[in-house]
Amino acid sequence: MRQLGWVLSLLLLPAGLVAQPPVAPPRTVDPPAADQRPANLPEGINRNFVDPDMDIAEWLGRFEIESREVFAARQQVLEACEIRPGDRIADVGAGTGFYSRLFAEHSLPGGWVYAVDISPVFLQHITEQALDDGVTNLTAVLGTSLSVTLPPESVDLVFICDTYHHFEYPPRTLASIRRALKPGGRLVLIDFERIPGVTREFLMNHVRAGKETFRREVLQAGFEFRDEVSIDGFEENYLLRFRKPQAAEASAAQ
């Protein structure tokens, strides 16, 4: 039965988050070529994550290790997210779920976390770990290559860590994130620097674009840029913060 836990959790959204009919995205979220993959996206970049035989122990050894910047600096990253009690948070590309568990703890009382991933194996692990740890305010959500599959205006914060460069259709996924955020909601994006002559070769080949390109894509999706936060220990990573405009601000801008 445990292997079905993450599936069942998809159906256990709180009462206030019953799925609603889809809404059309705002006019500001209509970039060209929304259905096209970026030309320089590495082929098969997500193949390992949708493999039903994926070895979760291997990825725990890669993701939850102090030599990984975003794991070692998790407390500073948590502070940069400015989580408040009662926040509803989407951890997009949740992976093994270590940030999802931190968010669940720090959003109490009243908060809830949606661990979104395209990998059923990751989601099963997240659900099982939450059961083992007694975490009761976390739901695993199966996303797609096009959408985070969350109801409109259902979350206060969307967190994307080392995942944006894996988005196969960035405009479509960003549009779904914008719809899922409440007006004034926050978006935190962590990814890898891509600087010729500085960045190591693996990342140059793996990450399709640099910080300014990713920042521009998020702005084109209708978000406002807040700032870049300096994190001690970040050498290969960066952290950007964005905001979804309030409804009145968005209307005035159209």
Give residue 12's pLDDT. 40
For 207-239, give one letter per residue: b (16+ CB within 10 A) or e. bbbbbeebbebbebbbbeeeeebebeebebbbb
Domain boundaries, the chain: 44-253
Give residue 4's pLDDT. 35
Give residue 247's pLDDT. 74
pLDDT tens string 135-176:
999 999 999 999 999 999 999 999 999 999 999 999 999 999
CATH class of 44-253: alpha beta
Complete DSSP assignment for 3-55: GGHHHHHTT---GGG------PPPTT---TTTTSPPTTSPTTTTGGGG-TT--
Per-residue pLDDT of the chain (254 residues; tens, 9 = 90+): 444 333 334 434 333 333 332 333 333 334 445 568 998 999 999 999 999 999 999 999 999 999 999 999 999 999 999 999 999 999 999 999 999 999 999 999 999 999 999 999 999 999 999 999 999 999 999 999 999 999 999 999 999 999 999 999 999 999 999 999 999 999 999 999 999 999 999 999 999 999 999 999 999 999 999 999 999 999 999 999 999 999 756 555 55
8 A C-beta contact, residue 187 and residue 242? yes
Give residue 252's pLDDT. 54
Q: To 10 degrees, the CA torsion angle through 85, 122, 164, 36?
A: -130
